[in-house]
Amino acid sequence: MKRILISLVLLMWTHSLGAADRIRIGYSSISGAYIPIWVAHDAGYFAKEGLEDQIVLIPSGTQLAQVTVAGEIDVGSMNGSSAMAAALQGADLKIIGNSGNKMIFSLYVRPEIKTIEALKGKKIGITRFGSAPDISVRYALRKYNINAERDLTLIQLGFMATVAAGLQGGSIEGGVVSPPTQFAVERAGFKELINITDMDFAFPNPSLVAVGSVIKSRPAVIDRFMRAYARGIQRARSDKELTYKSMSKYTKIQDQTVLQKAYELYMGKVLEKAPYINMTGLQNALDDLAKTVPAAKTVKPEQFVDRRFLDNLDRSGLMKELYP
């Protein structure tokens, strides 16, 4: 009997050593900004860090912030504005990194629309109000003295693919899209009217976000997530074939030319070697929020950031290993 009990204890101890920690990772759009998550998952880097990862598409930064606060997602990748808006309303959310630090969008229109002035009275598709496409197109239109509320109609269509479908089906005259969808739209004959990417609008797009309770109770899990994420970026940079497969898998785009153009843009101009945070972009997000949320006028971007996991990543020596 004693031998049996000892064997059971040893079996349970061995099983606990091999058990992976579950982590639920949410992302809010079909966009090349999420390549590091896709590649880290497909290459097995989360699993190698002892994580049983589940990646979930929730096509709205606001909704993703809500389910993260509710504890249904452990790490959310969403536009930083949605995270800070939730925090200003009392949610215990912290930005732990940024996948990108600028807006990566373009406004595509039907071929007959030749000028920005011709947008007046037209219907423009976005994913959701308050989303990064919504914020970015309003920013761009203001540069041309176009008032998005008065001069045209912004229509919520949910998904980036639905915006593209709306253009092709004729229900909208313009749409805000990001790579690789924008290159697919271009191949379909639509015209880029405003390249928001080239405006270099610093913005947390997207941020990596975790709720305070997860940060406090599972810091080692987040550290391992960050290591796997950094490995995913490095693998994406060095392995085009795998990255194209991941992009095609999650975007449902098969056109290799479209995938190549999106890959070159994100690897060359957008994704950094680690999810570093541009504080100017966070301040820009707060300035935009201040138009509708008065509390955003009196806070500092540092209040929304927890840098410990980026600092741990730097101290671990992994970045020197990945980029000798």
Fold of 106-199: D-Maltodextrin-Binding Protein; domain 2 (3.40.190)
pLDDT at residue 16 in the model: 41
- Among 100, 133, 105, 132, CA closest to 277: 100
Task: Name 21's Cβ contacts closer than 8 Å, sequence gap at least 6.
Answer: 50, 51, 52, 218, 221, 224
Q: How is the chain split into domains, by residue range?
A: 2-102+203-322, 106-199
The rounded distance, in Å, linking the Cα atoms of 87 and 291 is 16
Q: Looking at the domain covering 2-102+203-322, what would its CATH class be?
A: alpha beta
Evaluate whether 78 touches 110 at the Cβ level (below 8 Å): no
Per-residue pLDDT of the chain (324 residues; tens, 9 = 90+): 444 444 434 344 434 445 789 999 999 888 899 999 999 999 999 999 999 999 999 988 888 999 999 999 999 999 899 999 999 999 999 999 998 899 999 999 999 999 999 999 999 999 989 888 999 999 999 999 999 999 999 999 988 889 999 999 999 999 999 989 999 999 999 999 999 999 999 999 899 999 999 999 999 999 999 999 999 999 999 999 999 999 999 999 999 999 999 999 999 888 988 999 999 999 999 999 999 999 999 999 999 999 999 999 999 999 999 999
Domains 2-102+203-322 and 106-199 share a fold: yes
pLDDT at residue 186 in the model: 94
The rounded distance, in Å, linking the Cα atoms of 41 and 137 is 31
pLDDT at residue 18 in the model: 55
Please state whether beta strands 75-78 and 21-27 pair in parallel, antiparallel, or not at all (unpaired). Answer: parallel
Please state whether beta strands 106-109 and 123-126 pair in parallel, antiparallel, or not at all (unpaired). Answer: unpaired
Q: What is the pTM of this model?
A: 0.85
